[in-house]
Each structure stands twice: as C-alpha cells, then as structure tokens.
Chain A
Amino acid sequence: MTRRSYTRMGSCLAAGCAALVMAALHGTPARGAGLLIADGGLGGNLEIVEHNVQVTINNGIAVTEVTQVFRNTENRQVEALYTFPVPKGASVANFSMWIGGKEMVGEVLEKKRAREIYDSYKRVRRDPGLLEQTDYKTFEMRIFPIGPRAEQKVQVCYYQELDYDLDWATYVYPLATTTKGVVSSTTTGKFALNLRARSAVPIVGVTSPSHADAVVVAKYDDVHFEASLETKAGDLNRDVVLAYQVSRPQTGIDVVASGRPGEDGYLYLTLTAGEELAGEHAGMDYVFIMDVSGSMADDGKLGLSRGSVAAFVNALGADDRFEIIAFNVAPTPLFNALSPLNEQTKSKATAFLASQAARGGTVLKPALAAAFQYAGPDRLLNVVILSDGMTEQGERAALLEMGHAKPARARIFCVGVGNDVNRPMLEQLAEDAGGLADFVSRGDDFERRAQAFRRKLLRPAAGDLTITFEGVDVRDVEPARLPNLYHGMPVRLYGRYRGGGAVKVHVQAAVDGMPIQRTVELALPQADSGNPEIERMWAWHRVDRLLKEADRAGAREQVVAEVIRLGEAYSIATEYTSFIVLENDGEYQRWKIERRNALRLQQDRQAQQAVLAQLEALRDKALTKASQQVTAPELSAPLPAAANPASGAQQTANNNSSPPPGNSQPGDLNLGQPGGGGGSGGGPMEPLGLTIIGALGVAEYLRRRSRRCPPKP
C-alpha cells in the first residue's frame, strides 16, 4: 500500500465546505468543492470550518475569492493537501495564507523553483504554502504545518469568463465535483456565497437554476445586482448556479479598459449579436453522439447526458431530422437513419436513452465516423457530442484529425457533461470543426440550455469576423483569429493599446454570405483603474493560445519560457508556474522574489471595493424608496417595477455626470442585412431642407400661376 493511500485511509476525508439546508433535508450523499486530506505521511484529521465565497462579476468576467478556514482536529501537526477543481476557462490569480494573524499574499514562480523552496521550508517545519496546477482543471494547495487543534485560514482567487447562452450569462460555483475519487462529505459550518455583478448591457433577469429557493437576489438598477446564499448546516452536493439575462436589442460592441498613467493599457471588447441578425432557418440534421462509457457513471454524468439529449431533441424544429448514437468502445445507433421528430420517434428516443448504462471504455472515433455517414449535399449536418472527453489517450490526435477532415456540410459541437471533463480536447475538437463547445453542470436548467444551444446551432449570426482599430495603436490582440458570432453569445477580444483617445473600431463580417462592414467610434482612456481583471484575462488567453498552438504542433518546449514569463509577470498559476506563500516579507527578500502579486492584488481589491461601494450606494438609495428583496424565481422574468428596488438607484446612476472608473463604452453597429436598417446613410430631409423645398414649391406655383394669368398692363 502506498504512503498516500495509507494516509487517505487514515485521514478523515472532509471535503467540501459548508452546507445547504435543502440538500440536508434530502439526505443525499454529499461532495464538496474539493478534497481536503491530511497528507505527507503524517495522517491526521482535518475539516473546513468556514467557507466564504465572494464573487464580483464585471461585464462577464467573474472574480471568485474563496476564503476557507481549516481546522486540525487532532493533537499533532499535519500537512494539509487540498485539491480543488476550477471551472472551465478559470485562471487562479491569488493564493493567500494567514500566518500569525496576518495575511501573506503568495507570489508566482516557475513551478520547479516554487516546489524547491516549499520543500526547503518543510524540512525545517516552518510555514510555507504552495498552490500548483496539477492538470488542466485541478489545483492542489499544500499547507504545512497545521499545528495541533489549530486553524488555518487560506484564500484562493480565480478569474473566469462566464458562459453566455441565449443572452444568459451563467456562473457556476463547483461543489458537485471531487478531484480524487468518491468521498463522502458531512461537513458542517458556515457557507456563504455573495455575488455582485455589473454589466454594460442591461440585465433583464436573474435566477438560480440550482438553488432558486435559497438564493436571494437584489437588483439595484438595470446594470447592477447582488445575490447571496448562506447556510450554517447541511451537505453540499450540487453546484451553485446563478444566471442573469442581458438584452442588447441591436448588434454592438462594448469596451472596457484598464491601465495606469504612462503605461500601455488593456482593452476588453465584446461583440454581441442583436435581434436584427435573427432570421428564418431551414431544417437541419442532427446526430447526437452520447458517451455511455464507464467514466460517465461518475458524478451523475450519464443522467446529465440523458437529460441534455432529451432536451435537445425536444427543442428540434418540425423540419429537422435526428439520430442518436450511444457509444463506449463501439457505436450503437438508435434508428440507423435520420428520422423526423414526431411522437413515435420521440418515444423511441426516450426509451433508448433510458436503456443506456455506463460501462466500458471510451472510443469515440467509430461513433464519429458513423455520424459523418449521414452528411448529405443539401442539408447541414450538426454532430453533437455529449461526453466528458475522457477518451483513450492515443485516440485524441486521431479525433482532432477527423474533426479537420469532416464532410463539407457538417459541423461538430461538443457538450462537456459535468465538471470533470476534458475541456481542452472538447473545445479543440469543436473549434477545429467550425462548431462550439458548451458545458452543462448538474445544477443547470436542461431545457433552457438546450434551446440556447439549438439557437446557436441554427447558424452563426455572422462569420469571417475581423475587428480592426484605427486611431490608436492596438496590438497583441487575443484571440488572433476570432470565432463566429452566435446569437446570445458574445465574441470577446482582449488587447493592449498605447496612449488612448478616439479610436475607430471597424467590424467586418459575413452575414448570410454577404460581406458587411461597420464602424463605431469610441474613446479609450489614458488610464482606468476600474477593470484590472482584464489584464490577467489577457495574459491567461495568451498563455492558453500558446499552449494550444504548441499542442497542435506537438512540442511545448518553445513556448514554456514565455508561459513562465507571463505567469510570473501577471501572477497567474499555470501548468508551469505555481503560487508560493512564505512566512514574512523578509523571506521573500531572502529568495529574491518580487512582490508583484501583492501589488497587483492591492489594485484588484481597490477596484472590487469601488464596485462594492457603487453597489452599496445604489442599495442605500434604493432602500430609502423600498426595502424590498425579491427571491430568485420572481426575477427570472424581466423585473416588474414593484419588485425592483431600483427606481431610486437608477435615478442616482443617471444623475452621476462623472462616470466612475471601470465604466464601459457601448457602440451600436447593426449588422443587419438590407431591410433591417443599419449601416450608414444620408438624411438631409430635416426641417431646414424641407422648408426650402416648400419655399421653392411655392415659388414655382406662383411663377406658373403668373404665367397662366399675366398681370394686366
């Protein structure tokens, strides 16, 4: 038996954190956000006594700050190993430990060096902390030592872009995932999640599909809201999912910026499709490939898959045809043909889905090949793969090749099921095949996600998208190649810029095959302290792209140095950089470690405080009008005036003639095709022109009249 497995057996596996009353009532086995074990061969018994989550969402970028207090329940010191998953696309941007009652902020170092420093402290039993990325989705945090009966407070912060579906932005706090096998979780203690959001695009609805009865929402005005969930006992076994709907009636761009005086700035641009890009659609063909391999038995993934496929099938149109293929090591088709949607085929599909059990290995290639057989010359074939992406290692390269070699009128869409998914593989497969990757969580609303996904499947709102800038030197744009613009899902672009001032943003796209070009003029600030998170997101996207490109080329060696440079410069944990926390500032000096993250974190927190202050001001104003709070279900639809304590707050916001830092700049583009309005035009028929035309008309009438009736001599 290995030392680690011995330790696990001897440890109390107290994963997760706090509790939701509802889950406790159901009495279901629970799992936590991560797995906490006393490691290092010393055994021990650890628990998490407090779990506080603060989320700040700024224009679709969420900053999640998780503060946890561990307690060693034994009379000896232990090393804590806490493994936790982060959501897809998340970037860990801080790790702090409280040592002697004082917060010590971690710094990012090259992974090997950080590990060496950590081990050197561990040998002399002093207080280091280490946070490492172990794979694309899992991080490990090591803390040593935790003294007998002692408590240890830590804080982890990660950034992520929210998923948008049908204009719904979804935030998921993962609780239903374990990273190291199945564990039981019976933790008690306080769990609190508080989410504050602001958006450049008006927010028209807020809901919590996972905890509608427990989440309290207060919406202060059209662009700000706050949601909270708090409990003191119970088990956690579901992700906390919060979603808000934004509405942009016309296609347009929104830009926020960040930067300090005298330095190059950062910009974050979102391009959102408006209603003018909606259109009529002909029928299409769908093949749903459902993974029923053994790995789908974990975390209820198979149930998620069944529910998702059923919801997708129900969302099909009258002219659509579909087929379902279940696969593990071999494909099992339902109809052996594409069938129209009717009561008979629907009931067959339901029975087929119910009969599937998770077993066997995962070999996707034959199923994908079978799906491609349905491609025809006259209809678009959408291949929708529902899987956790845990295919055989040797198959992945072949799958990506197949994605490249897909039939001409076929697209591949990947739906990652659950939180424990091979996100990079699914994203790359979909991206290479002209499709999209989406991810569903246990707490999600299947019907809504299916409808949103189908809408994206219908067709991209605009393709061949390019965005260029004129007037300001904008460079290092990420991503270099923009994806298609889909309904309800903005295209995001990050970049750096020099100087500032008026900038013309040129957007070129193909709408229904027709080239469209639009321009909007905006102003980039010389400095803006309100959106520091976009700096790290820019760096994270750059790292992500470098690694993806290197993986495609089959060699990472050439990009590792740049990844480490970016990780250290922007304080983000990557596969090649880790966070280390040392006992005091003197220790950082001793190791010649620059306090970049400490400085950056200070700026981040100031910006978050500004958002908080803004929200509090709005709340105070609103409460003077009405101290009414509304629970999430009532807010899922556009807010009724009576339920929205925002009227006073809105007035306050509007009266503020000097917008605070962090505000966005909107610009309508209107990519509508002819008949839908938009573009540029002439409009001289204003009152002055009409008056002169009228005068000319009168003069002409008088002239002709005088000719008909010449004045008598």
Chain B
Amino acid sequence: MPAQAIAGAAPPASRSARSQPTDSGRNWPLATVLALVAMSLLVQCSPAAQAALEFNRAAIAAGQWWRLLTGNFVHYGWLHLAANVGAFAVLGWLAVGRASRAVWVVPLSAVAVGLGIQLWAGGTATYRGVSGVDCALLAWLLVTTAFQDGGWKAVAWLGALLLVAAKSVYEAVTGQVLLPTSAPPGVEVVNITPVVGLGIGALAAVIAPPARQAGNGH
C-alpha cells in the first residue's frame, strides 16, 4: 500500500497543505461522505422518496433491488437520522481521512447489510437506518488504528472492537437489546445489522490494510 494513501503519512509542508486530503490531493472520498449525508437529509424531507428508497422486502422481491443499498440512507424521523447520520459523518470523516479507500467500505457494507436483512432477518419487512454502515466504519477504523498504533494501544483498540462485537452477537442471538439505542420508539431494532457491519468493516481492514504509519513512534 502506498504511503501516500495514509492521512498525515508525511508531515504537511504548510498550513494550506494540511487542510488538503493527503492522497493525490483529491477530496472525492470526503465529498462522497458529505454527499451521502446530504442525500440522507434530502430524503428525510420527502416521504415519497423515503417510500421509494427504504428496504422493503415485498418491493425487493418485485425487483426493486436498489432498496438493498438505499434503505441505509432512509430514517424514521429526524432524531433517528441525527443520531445515525451524525455518527456516519464523524466516522466517515475519520476513515477517509485515514485512507481514501475507506470510502468503499460504505457501499460494500450498505449492500451487505441489505443482503443480511434479506437473508437472515426474514421477519423484517421494512428497514431503515445507516447504523450497519456506521458499524462497518467503526470496525474498519478500530482495526486500522490498531494496525497503525501497534503495541498496547492495538490491544486496547481490538479489545474495544471485541467488546462491541460480543455485545452485537449476543443481541443478535438472544434478540435482546442491552443498551439504549438511537432507534426511535416503535421501531424494532434489527440486531443482525451491527454484526454484518462489524464483520464487513473488519474484513475490509484485514484484507486491504492501510500501510503502517511512518514516524509515529512505533
């Protein structure tokens, strides 16, 4: 992996240079994240768009396959959106700041979450929320940070990932929700989506890890 792909791999030469993305001077990954945030906000303003984009098992069976992907960017009300998309914006910014290739985790995990619901959550007829993608970005960040930091920090980051994963698997197996979530009242939390998201994110980081940062003291 080229060193340039890692944000901050080389000390910035100037203040203006620091504000630029580090890989090839292009900002399209961050722009993509921001575009998805904007799209989520716009979709929230249009009930018709929400209906056309949410995960809907019956509609998917009728051939509307895009819902596997787009269902992640539709939410149940503004609070649900604020919590999920807020986290997505922060995680996306951190991830693409680390490596522009991280942006591919977003569509990959979004489709995987959709397929996961389709395959393993048969009782779920409709689904909305970017939480699965959030989990994927979280896992990707934890694994890449562990790789880059190494030592006891790596143990800490991987420990955090294992804690989240254990909790998610427990919830998926038992059907219980251990901690209060951002899901609004009346919305059934689909416990398979964090598991799928975490798995995809961790897998992506392991298969194509960012290069270990040079000069970070390890």
Residue from A470, A504, A521, A693 with most neighbouring chain B CB atoms (10 Å): A693
Q: Are B187 and A679 in contact (CB under 8 A)?
A: yes
A128 to B130, alpha carbons, bound, how many Å?
73
> Which of A6-14, A189-197, A384-392, A699-707 binds B?
A699-707
> Which of A48-56, A322-330, A512-520 binds B?
A512-520
B8 interfacial contact with A, CB 8 Å: yes
B 182-208 binary contact with A (CB < 8 Å = 1; else 0): 111111111001100100000000000
Select from chain A the residue with minimum beta-carbon distance to B181. Answer: A683
Q: Are B77 and A696 in contact (CB under 8 A)?
A: no
A 511-535 binary contact with B (CB < 8 Å = 1; else 0): 0001111110100000000000000
A554 interfacial contact with B, CB 8 Å: no
Select from chain A the residue with minimum beta-carbon distance to B194. Answer: A684
B125 interfacial contact with A, CB 8 Å: yes
A19 to B42, alpha carbons, bound, how many Å?
67
Contacts of B185 in A (CB 8 A): 677
Q: Are B76 and A679 in contact (CB under 8 A)?
A: yes
> Which of B27-35, B99-107, B134-142 binds A?
B134-142
B 96-116 binary contact with A (CB < 8 Å = 1; else 0): 010000000000000001000
Q: Are B87 and A693 in contact (CB under 8 A)?
A: yes
Contacts of A692 in B (CB 8 A): 138, 142, 160, 164
CB distance from A515 to the nearest CB of B (A): 4
Interface residues of A in 650-707 (CB under 8 A from B): 668, 670, 673-675, 677-690, 692-693, 695-697, 699-700, 703-704, 706-707
B126 interfacial contact with A, CB 8 Å: yes
Contacts of A518 in B (CB 8 A): 125-126
Select from chain A the residue with minimum beta-carbon distance to B213. Answer: A703
Contacts of B25 in A (CB 8 A): none
Contacts of A451 in B (CB 8 A): none
Q: Are B83 and A680 in contact (CB under 8 A)?
A: no
Residue from A668, A679, A692 with most neighbouring chain B CB atoms (10 Å): A679
A712 interfacial contact with B, CB 8 Å: no
Select from chain B the residue with minimum beta-carbon distance to A711. Answer: B217
Q: Are A675 and B50 in contact (CB under 8 A)?
A: yes
Q: Which of A674, A675, A680 contacts B188 (CB 8 A)?
A: A680
Q: Are A685 and B181 in contact (CB under 8 A)?
A: yes
Q: A674-B54, A700-B94, A704-B8 are in contact. Are A681 and B123 (CB under 8 A)?
A: no
Contacts of A678 in B (CB 8 A): 76, 126, 186-187
B209 interfacial contact with A, CB 8 Å: no
CB distance from B82 to the nearest CB of A (A): 9
Q: Are A517 and B57 in contact (CB under 8 A)?
A: yes
Q: Are B18 and A680 in contact (CB under 8 A)?
A: no
Q: Which of B77, B117, B127, B131 contacts A677 (CB 8 A)?
A: B77
Q: Which of A677, A687, A703 contacts B184 (CB 8 A)?
A: A677
Contacts of B128 in A (CB 8 A): 674, 679-681
Q: Are A674 and B51 in contact (CB under 8 A)?
A: yes
Q: Are B181 and A679 in contact (CB under 8 A)?
A: no
Q: Are B125 and A250 in contact (CB under 8 A)?
A: no
Q: Which of B18, B47, B57, B197 contacts A675 (CB 8 A)?
A: B47
Q: Are A693 and B138 in contact (CB under 8 A)?
A: yes
A199 to B138, alpha carbons, bound, how many Å?
47
A713 interfacial contact with B, CB 8 Å: no
Q: Are B12 and A707 in contact (CB under 8 A)?
A: yes
Q: Are A707 and B8 in contact (CB under 8 A)?
A: yes
A517 to B126, alpha carbons, bound, how many Å?
7
A707 to B135, alpha carbons, bound, how many Å?
28
Contacts of A677 in B (CB 8 A): 76-77, 184-187
Q: Are B47 and A674 in contact (CB under 8 A)?
A: yes
Contacts of B80 in A (CB 8 A): 681, 683
Q: A504-B123, A517-B126, A703-B216 are in contact. Are A685 and B50 (CB under 8 A)?
A: no
Q: Are A684 and B187 in contact (CB under 8 A)?
A: no
A508 interfacial contact with B, CB 8 Å: yes
Residue from A677, A681, A699 with most neighbouring chain B CB atoms (10 Å): A681
Select from chain B the residue with minimum beta-carbon distance to A703. Answer: B8
Q: Which of B12, B130, B138, B184 contacts A689 (CB 8 A)?
A: B138
Chief secondary structure at chain A's binding surface: mixed
Interface residues of A in 620-648 (CB under 8 A from B): none
CB distance from A494 to the nearest CB of B (A): 23
B21 interfacial contact with A, CB 8 Å: no
Select from chain A the residue with minimum beta-carbon distance to B98. Answer: A700
Contacts of B173 in A (CB 8 A): none
Contacts of A700 in B (CB 8 A): 94, 97
Q: Which of B8, B86, B124 contacts A680 (CB 8 A)?
A: B124
Q: Are A683 and B129 in contact (CB under 8 A)?
A: yes
Q: Are A682 and B54 in contact (CB under 8 A)?
A: no
A704 to B94, alpha carbons, bound, how many Å?
11
Q: Are A686 and B180 in contact (CB under 8 A)?
A: yes
A692 to B60, alpha carbons, bound, how many Å?
34
Interface residues of B in 28-77 (CB under 8 A from A): 47, 50-51, 54, 56-59, 74-77
Contacts of B138 in A (CB 8 A): 689, 692-693, 696
Q: Are B142 and A696 in contact (CB under 8 A)?
A: yes
Contacts of A708 in B (CB 8 A): 12, 18
Q: Are A684 and B160 in contact (CB under 8 A)?
A: no
B2 interfacial contact with A, CB 8 Å: no
A689 to B163, alpha carbons, bound, how many Å?
10
B155 interfacial contact with A, CB 8 Å: no
Contacts of A681 in B (CB 8 A): 75-76, 80, 127-129, 131, 183-184, 187-190
A668 to B188, alpha carbons, bound, how many Å?
10
CB distance from B175 to the nearest CB of A (A): 8
CB distance from A604 to the nearest CB of B (A): 36
A679 to B186, alpha carbons, bound, how many Å?
7
Q: Are B164 and A688 in contact (CB under 8 A)?
A: yes
CB distance from B213 to the nearest CB of A (A): 8
A710 interfacial contact with B, CB 8 Å: yes
Q: Are B12 and A696 in contact (CB under 8 A)?
A: no
Select from chain B the residue with minimum beta-carbon distance to A504. Answer: B123
A506 interfacial contact with B, CB 8 Å: yes
CB distance from A273 to the nearest CB of B (A): 14
B118 interfacial contact with A, CB 8 Å: no
Q: Are B47 and A693 in contact (CB under 8 A)?
A: no
A703 to B128, alpha carbons, bound, how many Å?
35
CB distance from B184 to the nearest CB of A (A): 5
B151 interfacial contact with A, CB 8 Å: no
A689 to B181, alpha carbons, bound, how many Å?
10
Q: Which of B11, B12, B134 contacts A684 (CB 8 A)?
A: B134
A302 to B188, alpha carbons, bound, how many Å?
51
Q: Are A514 and B87 in contact (CB under 8 A)?
A: no
A519 to B160, alpha carbons, bound, how many Å?
33
Contacts of A673 in B (CB 8 A): 47, 51
Q: A504-B123, A704-B8 are in contact. Are A679 and B188 (CB under 8 A)?
A: yes
Contacts of B51 in A (CB 8 A): 514, 673-674
Contacts of B124 in A (CB 8 A): 519, 680
Q: Are B186 and A680 in contact (CB under 8 A)?
A: no
Residue from A687, A696, A708, A710 with most neighbouring chain B CB atoms (10 Å): A696
Q: Are A515 and B127 in contact (CB under 8 A)?
A: no
Q: Are A684 and B125 in contact (CB under 8 A)?
A: no
CB distance from B107 to the nearest CB of A (A): 17
Q: Are B12 and A683 in contact (CB under 8 A)?
A: no
Interface residues of A in 232-256 (CB under 8 A from B): 250
Q: Are B125 and A508 in contact (CB under 8 A)?
A: yes
Known: A680-B189, A683-B129, A695-B160. 18 other contacts (CB 8 A): A515-B56, A516-B125, A517-B126, A673-B47, A678-B126, A679-B128, A680-B117, A680-B124, A680-B190, A681-B187, A681-B188, A682-B113, A683-B84, A685-B84, A685-B86, A686-B180, A689-B135, A692-B164
3 tightest Cβ-Cβ pairs between the two chains A and B? A517-B125, A682-B131, A683-B181
12 contacts between A and B (CB under 8 A): A504-B123, A508-B58, A515-B56, A518-B125, A519-B188, A680-B126, A680-B127, A681-B76, A684-B134, A684-B182, A688-B164, A708-B18
Show the binding face of A for B, using Cβ within 8 Å. Answer: 250, 470, 504, 506, 508, 514-519, 521, 668, 670, 673-675, 677-690, 692-693, 695-697, 699-700, 703-704, 706-708, 710
